[in-house]
A and B are shown apart, each in its own frame.
Chain A
Amino acid sequence: AQKVTQAQTEISVVEKEDVTLDCVYETRDTTYYLFWYKQPPSGELVFLIRRNSFDEQNEISGRYSWNFQKSTSSFNFTITASQVVDSAVYFCALSEGRVSGGYNKLIFGAGTRLAVHP
């Protein structure tokens, strides 16, 4: 069965601190995709990143970085020098991708609420 666990329910940091959001997943498939989404207080879902199971390279985008480790089934997300605007709920999600059909039902974790204080 597929499952995504975000063990941290809430994290509170002070601006400029680095913060890491954990994500652990379970799947039997060898081909799958991992996602992170941000949900700010306004409620929409903002796509942050997608990784496929064959690409374990870490990724950096500005202050954001992602560490994908198949050995531990983890896909952690780090925000460097956090800012108040980073305050949001962050969701990790898993999709067992299929080459044809594009069927990509997402399994979401419960989310981590990040509060960045000035």
Chain B
Amino acid sequence: NAGVMQNPRHLVRRRGQEARLRCSPMKGHSHVYWYRQLPEEGLKFMVYLQKENIIDESGMPKERFSAEFPKEGPSILRIQQVVRGDSAAYFCASSLVTGPEAFFGQGTRLTVV
């Protein structure tokens, strides 16, 4: 009964490169949430997805960031042309259709050099 799996755990990118963060929800969970934790700050909601649908992207930066949750496979958070300010921990959480529980992955720590 694996939990929420995120990979990679650590990702280093040079400025201008693309970063792809993957999140596999818990078995049976069809809801995925992405959060960003900037250094020394709390977590901030970015986007909420169901399979093949973006439900709420109110926390996503307007440019360079996108997310998807395809019918098959993990959810992907994509950051294009990364900048130093994108350096953060990115957490994914998943939940059941009806539950208020949200189970978090271990996070991906992105460092932009």
Contact = CB atoms under 8 A, between A and B. Distances in A.
Interface of A: 33, 37, 43-45, 47, 50, 52, 91, 93, 95, 97, 99-111
Nearest to A95: B100
Contacts of B41: 110-111
Contact of A102 (B35, B43, B95, B107): B95
Interface of B is mostly: strand
17 contacts: A44-B104, A45-B107, A47-B103, A47-B104, A50-B100, A91-B42, A95-B102, A100-B98, A102-B97, A102-B99, A103-B55, A104-B99, A105-B33, A105-B45, A106-B33, A107-B45, A109-B42
B91 A104 contact: no
Interface residues of B, number: 27
A111 B40 CA distance: 9
Interface of B: 31, 33, 35, 41-45, 48, 55-56, 89, 91, 93, 95-104, 106-107, 109
Given A47-B104, A91-B43, A102 B96 contact: yes
A37 B45 CA distance: 15
Given A91-B43, A111-B42, A43 B102 contact: no
B107 A44 contact: yes
A102 B100 contact: yes
Contacts of A33: 100
> Which of A43, A50, A103, A105: most chain B Cβ within 10 A?
A105
A108 B46 CA distance: 12
Given A91-B43, A105-B45, A45 B104 contact: yes
A108 B44 contact: yes
A45 B100 contact: no
Contacts of A43: 89, 106-107, 109
> Which of B48, B55, B96, B102: most chain A Cβ within 10 A?
B102
A111 B38 CA distance: 12
